[in-house]
Amino acid sequence: MGAQLGRRVFFCLLIWWVLGSASCGRGGGTESFSMDPNRQAERDRLVDDAIIPHGVRDPAVIAAMRKVPRHRFVPPSYARSAYIDSPLPIGYGQTISQPSLVAEMTEHLTLKRTDKVLEIGTGSGYQAAILAELVDRVFSVELIEPLARQAERTLAELGYMNVKVRVGDGHEGWPEEAPFDAIIVTAAPEQVPQPLLDQLAVGGRLILPIGKDLQQLELYRRTESGYERKALTLVRFVPLVRPGGGK
Ligand code: SAH
């Protein structure tokens, strides 16, 4: 009697163990869905396999890329793909940029802790969080209100108190907070918006994609007498929209 019950219990435990480990195994393997909710190992792999090979060298930028949890900035349905070096949809027809491009653009800004930085195109808030790791004050402008609000929530949940988000047209910059030591535009205008050049401090850097479908990444530096311009790589960003629909 006792032995039979014992065998039955053993058998049930065996089935439970087999089924349990099989279902835990799903989503593992090549997708390597991490048990660590912070997903540090996946981020480190992204940095080592994609961002450093892309040519990014600045230790502070690399540390920020290792730290900021990108999976928290993408919609839950894309969270699994957050550590692939690829852009991802964030709703409203917009995308979060490819991590290696985020790192490359950030590095070009040659930031120091005391810099005041403006971002145009908050989107998910991910680029703003990377900036917030590197400088004391970040200002970010987003045209689509629900994206701005969601980004604010994510940034607050993660404890980024040094980012201010505002809903508005990024073509105008943020005149009340100017001048900025650095400005990064993460949507593409067809020409450089003059207010952004005007809102740079002397010595300040502006990085932005210019063009229609395929864009040229450009870096401007304000000097005592004008601006220096450097053409960088070709990139593909969503357009910087004119709220009225005009050019
Ligand atoms: N930096 C973002 C990704 C930006 S996607 C991130 O890290 O997630 C480009 C963003 O620019 C989109 O959210 C889009 O709504 C916004 N955008 C487009 N035109 C704009 C404008 N005129 N002013 C401000 N934001 C604009």
Looking from the CA of residue 102, the nearest atom of ligand 1 is: 7
Threshold 0.75, pTM exceeds = yes
Please state the rounded mean pLDDT for residues 142-159. Answer: 98
- For residue 74, the model assigns a pLDDT of 98
- For residue 4, the model assigns a pLDDT of 57
Q: Are 102 and 235 in contact (CB under 8 A)?
A: no
E strands in 64-188: 88-91, 94-96, 116-120, 137-142, 163-167, 180-185
2 or 25, greater pLDDT: 2
- For residue 244, the model assigns a pLDDT of 79
Mapped onto helix, strand or coil, the DSSP state of residue 180 is strand
Q: Which of 160, 134, 5 is nearest to 72 (CA)?
A: 160
Please state the rounded mean pLDDT for residues 131-145. Answer: 98
Percent of the chain whose predicted confidence (pLDDT) is above 70: 85
Q: Provide the pLDDT confidence category of residue 234 given band limits of 50, 70 and 90.
A: very high
Question: What is the CB < 6 Å shell around ligand 1?
Answer: 94-97, 120-121, 123-124, 126-127, 141-144, 147, 169-171, 186-187, 238, 240-241
CA 20–ligand 1 middle distance (angstroms) = 44
Residues involved in catalysis: 97
Residue-range domain boundaries for the chain: 99-235
DSSP states of 16-36:
HHHHHHHHHHTT-GGG---SS
- For residue 13, the model assigns a pLDDT of 42
Q: Are 217 and 105 in contact (CB under 8 A)?
A: yes
Question: Looking at the predicted structure, is the pLDDT value of residue 57 above 80?
Answer: yes
- For residue 30, the model assigns a pLDDT of 40
Reading the block at residue 117, the tokens are 């930085």
What is the CATH code of the structural domain delimited by 99-235? 3.40.50.150
> Whole-angstrom Cα distance, residue 156 to residue 96?
18
- For residue 35, the model assigns a pLDDT of 74
**Residue identifier of the C-alpha nearest atom 18 of ligand 1:** 240
Reading the block at residue 109, the tokens are 């800004």
22 or 205, greater pLDDT: 205
- β-strand 116-120 against 137-142: which pairing, if any? parallel
> Whole-angstrom Cα distance, residue 145 to residue 39?
29
Looking from the CA of residue 128, the nearest atom of ligand 1 is: 7
